[in-house]
Amino acid sequence: MPRPFTTEDYRARIARAAADAAAAGLAGLVVAPGPDLVYLCGYQPTAITERLTALVLGAGREPALIVPKLERPDAERAAGAPAVRLLDWTDGEDPYATAVPLLDPAGRYGISDNTWAMHLLGLQGALPGTGFTSLTASLPMLRAVKDTDELERLAAAGGAADAAYRGILEVSFAGRRETDVAADLGALLIQYGHSQVDFTVVGSGPNGANPHHEAGDRVIRPGDTVVLDFGGLKDGYGSDTTRTVHVGADVPDEVRKVHDVVRTAQQTAFEAVRPGVTCQEIDRIARRVITEAGYDEYFIHRTGHGIGITTHEPPYLVEGEEQPLVPGMCFSIEPGIYLPGRFGVRIEDIVTVTANGGRRFNNTPHDLGIVS
Ligand code: ZN
Ligand code: ZN
Ligand code: ZN
């Protein structure tokens, strides 16, 4: 088990978030239940409902967590609770009135992206002079740079996903449905310590050409190329890895060739990771390898996404993202080639930026795995 996060950890995160908000010209942040709230105070209500829960913070103000009265005991148990002032409201009261004294009536606030529209509208109604902007748009890197404890969790999640991949190479594919192999993958992730499975993509044959095909009733056949992309949360942090396998050792030349191109694109992009290189440059490097091999029109998504408390978050490795890489950032590098109606190939590792370059959290072989 990793070291649990402490009240001091949350206090430091809240202070940094308030300082980052001020530096971005914001009066503060309003954070509803979801990954940002978990990150800032370790609190996740049992159910996210129409009852308002919100953390309000700003430079020079005591951070406050508004909770429904009946959920106050739950909130008090969160590790970050001592770092905030708890305010409750009772059913029948106007929860937005509770928020009014906490917000600058003329200030502009970053509000977490998953805040329900009814809550944002309620706050706007109660505070007509206050402005709100998307937290991801205004402070996209709030959770992007991971500290040592977070890196340890992400490395452990990656190691567990790798163990799941080694396990899936031992099961039989031919004659079974994609959903059967997906169930095996999910069970392996749990067996290796995940508390939550977020996705188990099993894209066999032509289904592999759809990058987000989950898994369906198709019966896997000898000679199929199969994309396996799976991940979830372990100790609160995400895993996400992709390997492409072939059913039987008789691999067609084009599958071999496409796989080599994707593997080279992934490796070349990985080797380019170092502080100061922009996110879009990593995307361009992966894309250049695929373009030079003649497959540019078949690489139909960005090269990668950040990972942390969630499995998809900033930074995004995509054309137009000029954010430079910073030590501690963690993201996927996952180029792919998708040939419609035929097959797909993707190779994905989670990578972190260190002072000297990239470090992988997924370390299973990149060669085309052979399954039976
Ligand atoms: Zn994805
Ligand atoms: Zn993935
Ligand atoms: Zn991914």
What are the pLDDT digits (tens) for 228-274?
A: 999 999 999 999 999 999 999 999 999 999 999 999 999 999 999 99
Please indicate, yes or no, if residue 143 is contained in any of the structural domains: no
How far does the centroid of ligand 2 lie from the alpha carbon of residue 241, in Å? 5
How far does the centroid of ligand 2 lie from the alpha carbon of residue 348, in Å? 6
For the stretch 26-54, pLDDT in tens is 999 999 999 999 999 999 999 888 999 99
How far does the centroid of ligand 1 lie from the alpha carbon of residue 15, in Å? 32
Q: Hey, what are 117's tokens?
A: 């529209």
For residues 261 and 156, state if they share a domain: yes
For residues 134 and 237, state if they share a domain: no
How far does the centroid of ligand 2 lie from the alpha carbon of residue 199, in Å? 8
Give the relative orientation of helices 148-168 and 178-191 as an angle to the nearest 10 degrees. 140
Look at residue 59 and tell me whether its pLDDT is greater than 90.
no
Which domain CATH number covers 312? 3.90.230.10
Last residue of one domain, picked from the residues 110, 138, 166: 138
The reported pLDDT for the residue numbered 241 is 98
Residues of the chain above pLDDT 70, percent: 100
Which domain CATH number covers 61? 3.40.350.10
For residues 134 and 153, state if they share a domain: no
How far does the centroid of ligand 2 lie from the alpha carbon of residue 312, in Å? 9
For the stretch 307-346, pLDDT in tens is 999 999 999 999 999 999 999 999 999 999 999 999 999 9
Instruction: Tell me which ligand sits closest to the C-alpha of residue 212.
Output: 1
How far does the centroid of ligand 1 lie from the alpha carbon of residue 217, in Å? 21
Collect residues with CB below 5 Å from ion ligand 3.
240, 332
Look at residue 213 and tell me whether its pLDDT is greater than 90.
no
Beta-ladder partners of 186: none
SS3 content of the chain, % helix, strand, coil (to 5): 35, 25, 40
How far does the centroid of ligand 3 lie from the alpha carbon of residue 315, in Å? 12
Give the relative orientation of helices 279-292 and 253-271 as an angle to the nearest 10 degrees. 150
Instruction: Tell me which ligand sits closest to the C-alpha of residue 311.
Output: 3
The reported pLDDT for the residue numbered 212 is 80
Q: Is the dihedral of CA 188, 190, 194, 198 positive or negative?
A: positive
For residues 58 and 156, state if they share a domain: no
How far does the centroid of ligand 2 lie from the alpha carbon of residue 20, in Å? 30
How far does the centroid of ligand 3 lie from the alpha carbon of residue 283, in Å? 14
Angle at the Cα of 146 from the Cα atoms of 141 and 148, rounded to 5 degrees: 160
Looking at the structure of the chain, the number of domains it has is: 2
- The helices-and-strands tally (H runs, E runs) of the chain is 10, 18
For residues 191 and 328, state if they share a domain: yes
Residue 210 belongs to what domain range?
148-371
- Where do runs of H (alpha helix) occur along 129-172? 135-138, 148-168
The reported pLDDT for the residue numbered 28 is 97
Instruction: Tell me which ligand sits closest to the C-alpha of residue 213.
Output: 1
Instruction: Tell me which ligand sits closest to the C-alpha of residue 332.
Output: 3
